Amino acid sequence: MTTDTLIHEKLDKLTEISRKKNYKAFLYDCDGTLADNMHAHKAAYQKAAAQFGIKLDTAIIDELAGWPTPLIAQEINKRYQTNVPPNDFASLKSTIFFDDFIAHTLPVEFVVHHLKNHIGKVRIGVVSGGSRKTVTRTLTVIGLIDDIEVLVCADDTARGKPYADPFLSAAKQLDVAPQDCLVFEDGTPGVQGAIAAGMDWVRIDKIV
């Protein structure tokens, strides 16, 4: 099976799922959902952790995908019995990712095509646990920044994923009821947040 065929098959399946209900808004995660960059984020986490003397197992990044970086840093402290200032870790990780990796970000083709195909048909938002600077740059690199109506990032709500707050904020800004939103995610914390917000959801990494 060719890459193009696989992309079209996944796009068709995603489109079929999103038509099961008359949704009025689609809310997409960024990293790992629209942007094929989780490997780069893991590398940035490892490089930042190494500067604090931590040999990081990146399985924690998969487990906590969608959490704001300072909270992941707090969890790293718990598991590695370290005392790294979470905001310092988050700042360093963000700098490393921005300087070393972000320019090489690629799109998750079938999800990006799905978003593009629905511009003007439903409201479009992005809900991410990343910083606004990093998410904005990522969406710019993959050519989506002008297509996003609402962007909710790590510092925009008191609580991030897995809580409902960022999803409810996006729905409110789009003037769409939560039950009329469909969330596209690649991580468990994001799905948990969507469920808490009363929204339907799709795990794009489970589309085969």
pLDDT (tens digit, 0 to 9) for every residue of the chain, 208 residues total? 688 899 999 999 999 999 999 999 999 999 999 999 989 999 999 999 999 999 999 999 989 988 889 999 999 999 999 999 999 999 999 999 989 998 889 999 999 999 999 999 999 999 999 989 999 999 999 999 999 999 999 989 999 999 999 999 999 999 999 999 999 999 999 999 999 999 999 999 999 7
184 CB-side CA count, 13 A: 29
- Only one residue has tokens 């962007």, namely 151
DSSP 24: S
| 47 token code pair | 């490089």
Q: Quote the pTM value.
A: 0.87
Sign for the CA dihedral angle at 178, 180, 186, 192 comes to: positive
